[in-house]
Structure 1
Amino acid sequence: MARPEGTDGLEARPLETDAALSAALAAIGTGAYVVDERGRVVAVNAHAERLLARPAEDLLGHDAHDLLHRDRHGQPLPASRCRMRQAFHAGRTAQEQRDYFARGDGALLTVSWLVTPYGIDGSGLGTLVVFHLNDQQPEFYEPSEQAAAPLTELERLALLAQTTTQLASTLDAEEAVRRLISLVVPRLADWAIVDLITERDEVWRTAVVHAEDAGLVHHEDLQGPMPPVLDESPMPLSRALRGVASTVTGPETYRRAPDSGIAVEQSRLFEVTGIRSAAIVPLRSARAVLGALTLGRAQRPGDFTTADLPLLEDIASRAGLALDNARLYQRQRKVAETMQNHLLPQMPRVPGLRMIARYLPAPHASQVGGDWYDTFPLPDGSTALAIGDVVGHDLEAAAGMAQVRNMLRAYAWAQQESPSRIVERLDAAVTHLTDISMATMIFGRIEEAAEGHWELSWCNAGHPPPLLISRDGRVTYLTGGQGILLGVGEHSSRPDAVALLAPGSTLLLYTDGLIEEPGHSLDEGLNRLSRHAAALAHRPLPSFTDHLLDRVRPAGNDDDVALLALRPG
């Protein structure tokens, strides 16, 4: 089953699979494995190991065609005669009622199989193979060419496996809805409607999608707020939104006198879309009813029957779990983000010194982290500067950030010692008084010197070095004052460093989310930062920081970013 194009010289090796993929295969009640774009097995379930008499280690990383596919005499099957390989190369769904696999003990296994394209999270597109024992006469068809044909048991299993892995791999509710629709349209229906119940118990028609010319068309004019659900309404959508039952219905149900505003909207939906047969199932989690999924057939042959409902309910239960997880995640993220933003300080006014700070929460799937900054006046007239990152990406990290910041303020104000001594005191407190595992930080103090210059003294506890940009665009990383991270348990003395900031120069303190990028070295990130900072040196400070974030922050960044910029003059 291997694709020969572009694979010369590449070593075949097993690929690690994620938890969602493994769980999806484990849930399939027959043999199943997934191959990557080169036809190598990347995941296999226990049923396949048993049927093939091969442990997973004998399958993973191997070309499935060479290892398994045989003719009826048990001889290796030429690639040109392999229907599975043809479907694999074409990237389409296909099935065969009678074929032959080689077992690990040398026996020949007669099987029925189905293959379908399958997304491997983080690794691109692969192919799912589902098979079971079958001694029936050959009967071959391709579901993609017979869209009206009912799903076979193998196709049902494959669809449920795809639903599990695709919905489990996102924590974004809108993306979960998009994936759900792409799984069922046009495979099961030519219309899909998703109604969700908001956290304020309002119903919102989130998606109305139609399969048209091999694409999906969104009808935004049919989306939006819906009337409330009546507790006593017997209408199918109202019952589904209360989590009462799944129903097969049609436009005739809504031609009677409507009992509610939601029935009026549903009647209009049938009229506008031309749906003649629909199946409506609740979307629910273990905790609550989240909404309803309506699948409709207008041009597609065949009407829904009650026999279709168990499959649709299985799909809806997986969707409900994904939506519930997304909502819980977004709620926690919002709490953490709000907490983070309230804890981060306002910039003090310091005559002769312009200061600006930026904090960007982590995008996409990762949670809010412990990145922070601070600046505050000291009793001797100097100004304290700090930036840091508490290890972790959750509410604990945000709370830890608050602990570190508050202890730092107390020590810096009360002790009035050098930055290194303040950091040493903070390190001891972090180790003994908090649950923080580790943290990085730069703490410094800045005060006016002669002729418009400002003197910076600082201590660095395992943090990326500050960047100093002159007025004419020369850049220097301030690598002095380096020491180990906070919280590692070694309380040796730490060094201080001193630098002079000329009028018009810019000092930049930042966290590692600005420069770190998967697959790239830290030096590459530092070079990228210095190059763009030099090009932006002439800009006003607010413009400098905003453009720097836009240009330097990696597109694939999955971490918070805190940034503090200062400019004398």
Structure 2
Amino acid sequence: MRPLPIPESLVDDLSPAPPPAMGAVFDALPTAYLLLRPDFTVAGVNREFLRVVGRRRAEVLDRDGSEVFPPSPDAPPEGRDLLRELFERVLHRHHPEVVPLLRYDPAPAGDGVPQERWWSLRVSPVLEDDRATLLLVHVEEVTGDAGDPRPDGAADPLPGATPWSRLQLEQARASQRASALAGTALRLASARTLSDVVRAVAGHGLAAIGADGAGIAVPAGDGWRLVGSSGFSDDHRRRWRTVPHDSPLPVCHSARTGERVLLPDAAATDAYHPEMARVRAENGRRAWATLPLLVGGEVVGGLAAGWAQDHAFTVEELELLDGCAAQCAQALERITGERSAAEEARSVRRTAETLQLSLLTRPPVREGLQLAVRYQPAARGAQVGGDWFDAFATRSGATVLVVGDVVGHDQVAAAAMGQLRNVVRGIAFDGDDRPATLLTRLDRAMSGLELEALATAVLAVVDPPVAGLASRRVRWSSAGHLPPLLRRAGGRVEVLDGGDDLMLGVDAASQRHEHLVDLEAGDGLVLYTDGLVERRGEHLDEGIRSIRTALQGPDPRSAGAWADALLATVRAGGVADDTALLVLQLDPDAAPARAVPQDSTVELVLPADPRSVRDARRATQRCCTRNGLDDDTTETAVLLTSELVTNAIVHGRSDARLRVVVDPGSVYVEVADDNDRVPVLQTHDDEALSGRGVSLLETAASRWGVAEAAIGKVVWFTLDRVR
């Protein structure tokens, strides 16, 4: 149901309270805030801020913000003030910014010596007539959570953050990107004009990756109409309000051809076309990305994003750009009325599915464990829901597995799913809590954060390997979820009883129970949502019995093969609901773990995803390092492996199979894919961006070759150890 417009009378009733009352509210807020003027002097603070920084109000008011937060000891050597740069960005871009972890050491009152302090900041502009008149800074101290586990002498690539904090920052950024997509989707749902669309995309999705300007191109007669965000001047918007159909602007090219254009720096922008050199000279934006807006395979316009500084685009940013473009396209379709009401409803579903799928990430690569995850949307015409899965490694080396289902079949359920998933990651990553405790903490967080949702979930923790044992212990707890299925090597299947623990969101104080199971080599554990076992006109027990029978077949080739076979069973019976599925299998060839690992072989199945290259490099480096291979040979092996896996992913368009074997005299690597085309040595070209893999093999490998396989080929090489 679309939200009803707010009557003008109600808007008047919701207008801000008189300043004295609002000032009292501000001062009584339980979290720390301060207000900065455009010259960054302190205009106001509340009592909680004074408490956390240990100052009196007279010592803070009208002082420069840099005096309240002096430069960090870890600030860049050239004297940059990171905090002041943050304030300036928010002031000029009119977009809030969040810094999850930053070190600043405010001195105590008097002549006290500054002590190391860590903070999380959110800086928001207070706008009046499209002009920032104040900056509202929310300050939260996280000193007790941040720590500084940096090894002695280790370089820190992020000023003000430790290497350990760097990992936390990356996780926070990933969560921020997902939240940006969610925020964009929510705001696009209420957009009524093209300007609304641009503001929604620029202010939430694109702002998360630092873009300070955005625009769209839509058909207008025999040309294009361009609509820009507040990041462009009025003069620019007037000059480029309409342009010819064959305009050389990259956003028009994307709208004409359906191709993405990336210009990462000023040189690329100027070289693209003289018109773009003129654009850069006039508005100062050095980097650009333009994407087609696609609906059902039809191009309906183009989306442009600009950066004032050079900007190297990461895979994650390109995914977010694609997500923003998809959401923007759906909004344009609705606004322009080019589709029927049924098509409009499907576009809302596609948007929600994009958000839902963006939160369902690939499982980690864990030696000795095979993990496979699948998500199967419900049949055409059904609504989206809150099904999710997750698998991630903890700081202690354990592996956390979660499958859950938020009650409901709409975008609200999908958004709640994303929140619960992120909370689980946050509370489980750097601790050693057991599954029942983690579910209890999640339930309490839902209550304390007022996440008004009901959900079932099963959470399992796979303990790290124990020296001398080939088995792995799994501890698990269920919050009203369907029972896990345990398949023993050989075909015996057990339905694990999780008891009668309440679902999440009912009673945060309810008692939860934990269960234990030991997995031997070849054993598998299946976690799933009701879409896997629910059939129209049948009891859930019948569906579970059907899946149990399917699991009793011959031993699987891999966890992925089992996951695909189970989903095939679901499709054959008709999909009544969304299905989230997670399959864990203990490697059938698992050997007892040793105190000092000496495994000389690594075998991985890598999905056809560019991120698999990173996993292959890491696995090769770990195998070589733990077997005492010298640094030079290790680096060469990693480089050649990266080239082979990249070629397999790009040209094979299938899963790649990696095998690394280190013996006393050499390292052997092979990469298999389903493409039977044999690589050939190409003419040397220093300017080429591809085609160098065979040339590298010819130059660096001791021996290499290509072997035929039943399906596709195997490319291999050997490197002799440096003596």
Q: TM-score normalized by structure 2?
A: 0.34
Q: Which structure has the larger Rg?
A: 1
Q: TM-score normalized by structure 1?
A: 0.43
